[in-house]
Every structure is written in C-alpha cells, then in structure tokens.
Chains A and B, each alone.
Chain A
C-alpha cells in the first residue's frame, strides 16, 4: 500500500511539475475526449466544435478522441485509457450522471482536469458545463400547450428510452403538462433520436387518422414536418430543436407554426475552453455552469428574427445552428464545418 501511495504522490508531483513547466513555456496540452454516441448530428457537431476550438486556441498539441457507441462501462474503459495515455485534461459527454464517477475520480486524483459537457456528472471533482435538459423540454412544451389554446391532443415524440437526457426532458415536459390539465397525450413514442425511426413512427400515426393538435419532438424534428407535408395532413404546431433543417422549415414551410428550442452542440467547444482555462489556473467560480436554452418561435417577431439569423444552408440538416457560444468559443463557421483538430 505504502509503495502505491508513493507512486501516486510521485505521479501527482510530476503532473504538477509538468503543469508548471507547461505554463512557463508555450502552453501545449494534450486533451482527451470521450463520447458514447456515434453517428448522431448533434454529437458530431459537438466533436467538431471540440476539434475546432482546440485548433484555434493554439494551446492544444493534440486531441485524443475516444468516440464510439457504448455504455457507461465502455466509457469507464475509454476514460481509463485516456488516463493511461497521459492527457492533461478530459472533456467528456457522460453516458449518464453516475456511472462513470469512479474513472473521473481516478483521473482527477492524478491531477487531470475533467470537464463534463452536455450532461452533468455527480462526481464533485469534475467541472460541469451542461445544457439544462429539463428546462429545454419545459420551454418547448409550455409554448406548444399555449399555442394550441391550453387544450387538445398532443403527440409526444421522445428521445431514447433509458437515456438520462431523455429522462430529464421527460421531467420538464411533465412539469409543463401539469400546468395544462386539458392537454392530452394521444401518442407517446421513443424515436431513439433516429431520423428514420421518427419519421416512420409519425407516418404510422398519421395513417390512423386520429386527430392531433400539436407535436412535441425531442430534436427529431424536420422529418416530422416532412411527414405532415407528404401525407397532405394539415400542419399543426410542432416543437423541435435548433437543428439546421428544422430552423429552415420554420421560415420556409407555408402554414407551419413552430418553435425551435436551442440545445447547442457547440457546448463541446466550450468544454475545451473551460478545460484550458482551468489548466492555466483560472478555474470558474462555480463547478457547474448551466447553459440555458432559448426558444425561437416563428409566431413572434423576436422569434422570427432569431430564426432568420440562425439560417445556415451550409450546415448538415441534423446539425444545431447555434454553432458557437459567445464568450466560450472562438472558431469561425468555416472552421467548425471543416472539423479539423490540431495536427490534422
């Protein structure tokens, strides 16, 4: 045991020494990234934001990216591998709030800065920069219920069953639902945050002919509008995320009343910035920084202006249009679309 503690002490000391040396000379850090969902537009934008921010900061020598579809146990493996790789900081989009705490603790014990982005973790030694998922759902649901006059039948298209972000959003949705006792959920499905699945589900539902007054989606949005238009069903108010495709539809589709709730994937870039600030000895006052969502409705002047400003035909339709976060990210639009990290 004694020898082990010595090893840790030596490791901590040398980490400190390396940190100090790094500060004295030009700052060049290695940052590890861990993400457990691959092939989803939002997550891809997050990873590209991390790469672009690392590149433009000029302080990151290399990024070490563990990016695959896996569970919390797989993320534990990835984080431990990043620790083995000797990174200075780890920016992680956690699979869930509790499951990866043990590996985060191991990292911070070795002097590695850990920043959780998008979703929070309960490990107190980590920093959290997260989108407020409960508020995200509440904002959109409240707008929708008001839009349909406080009563009617709503289709509730959730994310992935068993995902913590979906569970948080469900809490926010139900909070709004309690405020509108005359709103009824006629259909509740899990899209799995998959475009094809969501579209099939809404087509199946529309085929039944059951009347519907509004649709709330957990970010699988533009295909829902497509389905209404293609099936020649009168459009109802639809809530989505600030994905490029849906934001485009909000201004171009005739007769569509809708609202986009922002959920910036660029929070990944902000996480890199936060990690670098901490490495340079400027930790934030609070260990948890929440990014509050915003609602852009095409039924108000203010909302229309934000939607117009957010238009970006260069983006993949699945990418959120809020590609940057003021004060947190410094890359340009072209740099995030190029998706190049340091040394690429």
Chain B
C-alpha cells in the first residue's frame, strides 16, 4: 500500500510536469530543444541541493547549511582551476572529498554535542559562508573549458543519428548519472537501510543494532557530497565561483516537501524531489514567458507549492480511509 502511495505521488508529479510542458509549448510555440536544455541546466544546482536535503531529511534531520556548502565547493573549484593551476579532474575529486568532509563535520557536531540538527546546521550555515568568503572574497576564479562543456548541448551517442538523442540535454544525463552512482548502491546497502531506519524510529533502529551516531554522520556526509556536486555545477555553468550562497536552501526544502518526502524522516525517495525541482523551474520559466509581474511571481510559486502539497495530503488521507 505504501509503495502504491509513493508511486502515486510520483505519477502525479510526472503528470504535473507533463501538463506544464504542454502549457509551455502553448505559451511559447517555439519551445523545443533549446528550451529543454536551458531548463535542465537551470535545474542542475537545485537538483543536487534537493538530493542533499533528501538524504538528511530521510535520516530524520535537516541541513540548513546546504547552500553555504555549495558556495564553499564552488569557490574552491573556481580558485583551484583559475588559470589552469590545478587540472580539472583533480579539482573535481578534491572538491567532492571536501564536500563529504564538510558534511561529516556537520554530522559529527550534531552527534557529539547532541544539539538539535536545525541549530547546528544553522550555525554551520554562517560558518561555511564565512569559509567561502575567506577562500574568495568576491566572485571570480575560473573553470576548465572542457568541464564547462560537459553540460552544454545535447546527448550524442556514436552510431545513433543525432536526431534520436540530440534533444536530450547533456546536463540532464550528467545529473542522472551523478545521482544514480551514489543513490542506487546506497539505497541497496546496509547503510541505506540504516539511514531510513534511524529516520523512521531512532530507538527501534538502535535496539535492532543500528549504530545511530555513525549512520547519521554518514547521511550528512553524503549530503555534503551532493552539495559539492551542486557547487561544482554552479562553477560549471557560470565559469566562476561566487562566495555568497544562492537561493538553494529554501528551494531544496521546497523540492523535498513537494517531492513527497516526509519531513519527519524515514519515508520518501529521490525521484519525487528531482521531478519537483523540474516542476518548480518550469513554473519559473512559464511565469517569465508570460511576463508576469515579478513581484507576483514569488507569490504564485509559493501558492502552487501549498496547493500541490495540500492536494497530496488530502489524497493520502482519503486513500487511508478506504
């Protein structure tokens, strides 16, 4: 029953995404390959931020420092690659490790001090923001050209005609691969099970032999890794690093909620929030295409979220009654 519910939510989100795509095509008949590509590139940092938030929320926590960690990762990458000082491949590796380390620090502080997640990560929001400013005090740095080009254009598979795969944005493929490489094995591992377990019921998990503290640190560490990917995607799309965090924290929470992940922990997957990210970006695109008053735009975005989550909640209650 639970799996039907979860899939139901995802099917609903996919339907909403489809509807919005049709609406976009109606608003702007020229909407096509280039529109899909800009949508997918815009979604990239938001999707990684959402993935980071998902894993922490599933583990029963919340990470308010995600956008700041993304900024640290982004400026680190931009400073390292500036003028080709460090090869891009090595930079990516170092930044990913740095992300996991930042996440592990967040998690360790929570476990060791027993201060609530929300307090620790709120404090770390400012700490990581300061670290980003220490690394780079104003937007700057650089990025290797080949790294930037990874997310530009359509997918080309040798042997297939370009028309068959060319409409799929490369940035979407990069996103799917990066998320799958981490998420799929994790979900099937003991650690993945343990993360869901501590989010669902910490005491029960502890009594069944789950190392709660270590699992929590691991969850935050994976979140840091996803945040680093988000930071890298920022540097790849802008070609520089920006020390001031972007609007990714609240957007990640929004995507998590809209994606059907229960904020209390223990339930939800990655697919829903990722689709939700695309839904939210597409709403933004449609509002721009319609040239809606920018001061009204945010109200509309917020209202859509509340309505969708409310409808979802009502459907859940009704299906439970049956």
Measured CB to CB, the residues of A under 8 A from B are 1, 3-4, 38, 62-74, 76-78, 80-86, 95-102, 160-164, 166-167
Contacts and interface: CB of A to CB of B under 8 A. Distances in A.
A267 to B, nearest CB: 19
Contact of B289 (A76, A85, A162): A85
A76 B233 CA distance: 13
A81 B285 contact: yes
Given A70-B246, A162-B138, A84 B28 contact: yes
A164 B139 contact: yes
B294 interface: yes
Interface string B28-60: 101100110010011001000000000000000
Given A81-B38, A84-B34, A162 B137 contact: yes
Nearest to B43: A77
A99 to B, nearest CB: 4
B298 interface: yes
Interface stretch (B181-189, B219-227, B235-243, B255-263): B235-243
| Nearest 7 pairs of A and B residues by beta carbon | A71-B246, A80-B38, A77-B42, A67-B294, A167-B138, A99-B238, A96-B139
Interface of B: 28, 30-31, 34-35, 38, 41-42, 45, 132-133, 136-140, 148, 152, 162-163, 166, 234, 237-240, 242-247, 281, 284-285, 288-289, 291, 293-295, 297-298
B294 A38 contact: yes
B239 A63 contact: no
B289 A84 contact: yes
A80 to B, nearest CB: 4
A73 B237 contact: yes
A331 B67 CA distance: 41
30 contacts: A1-B162, A3-B163, A38-B294, A38-B295, A71-B234, A71-B246, A72-B242, A73-B45, A73-B234, A73-B238, A73-B246, A74-B247, A76-B237, A77-B281, A77-B284, A81-B38, A81-B284, A81-B289, A84-B31, A84-B285, A85-B28, A97-B139, A98-B140, A100-B238, A102-B238, A161-B243, A162-B136, A162-B138, A163-B244, A167-B138
B288 A64 contact: yes
Contacts of B244: 71, 160-163
